[in-house]
Chain A
Amino acid sequence: MENKGFFNTLINGTNFDANNLTALQKITLRAVVMSFIFFGLVAIEGMIMRLVQADAVKNHILPQMFGVPEHYFSIMTVHPIVGIFGSTYQLVFAAFMFLVPYLTKKPLYSLKLANFVWLSITIGTWLAWIAAFIWHYAPLYTLYWPLPADVKQFSIVGGIVFVIGVALIMLGTLGFIYNIYATIFAKTGVHKNKTTKELLISGFGIDGLMNLIHKLLGKPPYSKEPALSLPVVAIFRGTVDTFLDALVILGAGILVLVFLINAAAGLGWDVHAIDSLLYKNWFWWGLDLVADGLVLIYVAGSWYLLATIITGQKLFMENVARAALLLELFVSWMVWSHHLLADQPQPEMMKLISGEMVTAFELLT
């Protein structure tokens, strides 16, 4: 009886009626469920990789297949794809597609688009995982050129399936971004009388910066009531870097796809036509936005919200926080060179300014 009660509670909940949920609540929960499934998958993958490193294959604790380099590196390749995109992106996107309408008191721009987002990211993540698991496509997440298009080591089919998977994830990401922008900038409800310029100034944190400047100059505040609340500013600001990052990853995917299709057709284009160092700079510029441009900002935004809810007070140094979000936008675009400090052909000034100084300056923002 106890077991029946436990499983009944597990499946049906205690005080939960799915029929009473709104469409947005349902979409949010679907994405969260998929996110947790992917989280479970990466947790298992992570433990398998650690066990391999601890000689579990040699000691016959794990099957031989896990120790074969092709299989091991394919897990390592797809592990961050599933973890970052399938799990974390999906969890964060679902939370923000629910939170932005709640905070702005405006409806989400499109529920259909929200459904597309979780479906696209889910299918894309599975495709990338299948490409790694079945075809052992394993260029790692760094995708250093021309490794992802190296058909001597990797199956062309595996590569194409992987790229299609990642492209679907990025299309889902762009769908999320469009939905968030369209919701924030919709001139309805509390923003009925706001202009796009006012919303943009607030979204980028320019009003916070102007308030600080006015304070220094002894002038009255530039804006007493910002058009957007601070958590919404952080979500919008993080989404700018999410957008740029999606464009770069999608662009890299298309480039890889072109060379893979070319190889499949036997046309024999030389992969070295693409400058490997230029590609590396471009790819790291985009990829680094995940760490420096969006994760930090999304976490900051979430805690700005929680801090005000928990304490019931306005945020301490709110104008500084708004201005810092703007400053960090520019800083996040200029730090990628710290990933190329060991690349000797990289210009020294890039290593010094972008790789060292601006990266260290991030401490301030």
Chain B
Amino acid sequence: MFQTSIELLKFHWVAYTIYALFIVSLIAWFGINLTRKEKIKSIVRIPFYGYIGFLVAAGVGHHIFTYNAIPWVEEDMKRHEIKPDKSFKIVVANHKWQLPAKPMVVNEGDRVKFHVTSKDLTYGFGLFRDDGTMVFQMQVVPNYDNDILWTFNECGKFNITSTEYAGPAQYDEKGNDLMFVKHGVVVQCKNQKVAIK
């Protein structure tokens, strides 16, 4: 249903706005009735508790029923059973990445597994587009194999940085992010190659 995080965010923006309006309408309905001598006669009788039940069911159900509509969720749950097209092992220590290749090159549509291990602190491993929007991220807790399986449904060059605060040593005196890797991952488009510097 959704191919990228951008598409998912757009859907959530609409879905949650509608849901919030339903909740606001409940409070408005209650508030308007409170200020009137006679209750408003609605065209369709909506039972108060029924409406509350609907809101609860919609809120919880949204999570349950859309769980597998997001492709990377199912992949993530079953990632130990899925054979990836490519796999990269990354180590992080002293606020420095040890990348297996720079850039890590994959093809559009590839299922790629990233194994990230921290030797000291808790970091994050995040992939970002050039406009700053996030493709994915995970936490990197020390002494664990932190792995994420990702199918690249979009091609281009993506930047890597830590998404978890691991102390001020991640930044230089001017505030520049020392863990930022420009175009650390390159995804080759199906129809045309992305230039690699």
Q: CA A281 – CA B146 in complex, angstroms?
A: 16
Q: Identify the closest chain A residue to B168 (Cβ).
A: A69
Q: Identify the closest chain A residue to B141 (Cβ).
A: A276
Q: Specify which chain B residues have a CB less than 8 angstroms from the CB of A147 in the assembled complex.
A: 121-122, 165-167
Q: Specify which chain B residues have a CB less than 8 angstroms from the CB of A345 in the assembled complex.
A: 141, 144-146
- The digit string for B44-79, where 1 denotes a CB below 8 A from any CB of A, is 000000000001100110111001000000000100
Cross-chain contact of B121 among A150, A340, A356, A361 (Cβ < 8 A): A150
Q: CA A73 – CA B165 in complex, angstroms?
A: 10
Cross-chain contact of A146 among B142, B145, B172 (Cβ < 8 A): B142
Pair A153/B142 contact, Cβ less than 8 Å = no
- A142 touches B (CB below 8 Å): yes
Pair A360/B141 contact, Cβ less than 8 Å = no
- The digit string for A217-228, where 1 denotes a CB below 8 A from any CB of B, is 000000000000
- The digit string for B156-171, where 1 denotes a CB below 8 A from any CB of A, is 0000000111111111
Q: What's the minimum C-beta distance from B72 to chain A, rounded to whole angstroms?
A: 12
- B5 touches A (CB below 8 Å): no
Known contacts A69-B168, A73-B165, A276-B144: A361-B60 contact under CB 8 Å: yes
Q: Identify the closest chain A residue to B167 (Cβ).
A: A153
- A4 touches B (CB below 8 Å): no
Known contacts A69-B175, A357-B63, A361-B60: A344-B148 contact under CB 8 Å: yes
Query: From residue 124 to 182 of chain B, which have CB atoms closer than 8 A to chain A?
Result: 124, 137-139, 141-148, 163-175
- A315 touches B (CB below 8 Å): no
Known contacts A144-B122, A363-B56: A342-B167 contact under CB 8 Å: no
Pair B141/A69 contact, Cβ less than 8 Å = no
- The digit string for A139-162, where 1 denotes a CB below 8 A from any CB of B, is 110101111001011100000000
- The digit string for A88-127, where 1 denotes a CB below 8 A from any CB of B, is 0000000000000000000000000000000000000000
- The digit string for B23-45, where 1 denotes a CB below 8 A from any CB of A, is 00000000000000000000000
Q: Specify which chain B residues have a CB less than 8 angstroms from the CB of A67 in the assembled complex.
A: 174-175
Q: Specify which chain B residues have a CB less than 8 angstroms from the CB of A356 in the assembled complex.
A: 63, 67
Known contacts A147-B122, A345-B144: A357-B165 contact under CB 8 Å: no
- The digit string for A47-58, where 1 denotes a CB below 8 A from any CB of B, is 000000000000
- A198 touches B (CB below 8 Å): no
- A70 touches B (CB below 8 Å): yes
A140, A147, A272, A348 pick with most chain B CB within 10 angstroms = A147
Q: What's the minimum C-beta distance from B177 to chain A, rounded to whole angstroms?
A: 10
Pair A344/B147 contact, Cβ less than 8 Å = yes
Interface size on B, residues (CB 8 A): 37
Q: Specify which chain B residues have a CB less than 8 angstroms from the CB of A280 in the assembled complex.
A: 122, 141
Pair B143/A276 contact, Cβ less than 8 Å = yes
- A68 touches B (CB below 8 Å): yes
Known contacts A144-B122, A348-B77, A357-B64: A343-B169 contact under CB 8 Å: no
Cross-chain contact of A153 among B63, B144, B145, B168 (Cβ < 8 A): B168
- A128 touches B (CB below 8 Å): no
- A255 touches B (CB below 8 Å): no
- A277 touches B (CB below 8 Å): yes
Q: Identify the closest chain A residue to B172 (Cβ).
A: A69
Q: What's the minimum C-beta distance from A139 to chain B, rounded to whole angstroms?
A: 7
Cross-chain contact of A343 among B63, B138, B145 (Cβ < 8 A): B138
Q: CA A193 – CA B149 in complex, angstroms?
A: 64
Q: Identify the closest chain A residue to B52 (Cβ).
A: A364
- A138 touches B (CB below 8 Å): yes
Pair A360/B60 contact, Cβ less than 8 Å = yes
Query: From residue 61 to 94 of chain A, which have CB atoms closer than 8 A to chain B?
Result: 67-70, 72-73
Q: What's the minimum C-beta distance from A226 to chain B, rounded to whole angstroms?
A: 23
Q: CA A322 – CA B177 in complex, angstroms?
A: 50
Q: CA A12 – CA B125 in complex, angstroms?
A: 58
Cross-chain contact of B142 among A138, A272, A344, A364 (Cβ < 8 A): A272
Q: Specify which chain B residues have a CB less than 8 angstroms from the CB of A343 in the assembled complex.
A: 138-139, 141, 146
Pair B165/A140 contact, Cβ less than 8 Å = yes
Q: Specify which chain B residues have a CB less than 8 angstroms from the CB of A348 in the assembled complex.
A: 77
Q: CA A54 – CA B148 in complex, angstroms?
A: 34
Q: What's the minimum C-beta distance from A319 to chain B, rounded to whole angstroms?
A: 14
Q: Specify which chain A residues have a CB less than 8 angstroms from the CB of B174 in the assembled complex.
A: 67
Q: Specify which chain B residues have a CB less than 8 angstroms from the CB of A140 in the assembled complex.
A: 165
* 23 sample A-B contacts, Cβ–Cβ < 8 Å, listed by A number: A68-B173, A69-B175, A72-B168, A73-B167, A139-B167, A146-B121, A147-B165, A147-B167, A154-B167, A276-B143, A277-B144, A342-B139, A343-B139, A343-B141, A344-B147, A344-B148, A345-B141, A345-B146, A356-B67, A360-B60, A363-B56, A363-B59, A363-B60
Known interface pairs A69-B175, A144-B121; 20 further A-B residue pairs with C-beta atoms within 8 A, sorted by A's residue number = A67-B174, A69-B170, A70-B168, A72-B168, A72-B175, A73-B168, A140-B165, A144-B122, A144-B166, A145-B122, A147-B122, A147-B165, A153-B167, A276-B122, A276-B142, A280-B141, A356-B63, A357-B63, A361-B56, A363-B60
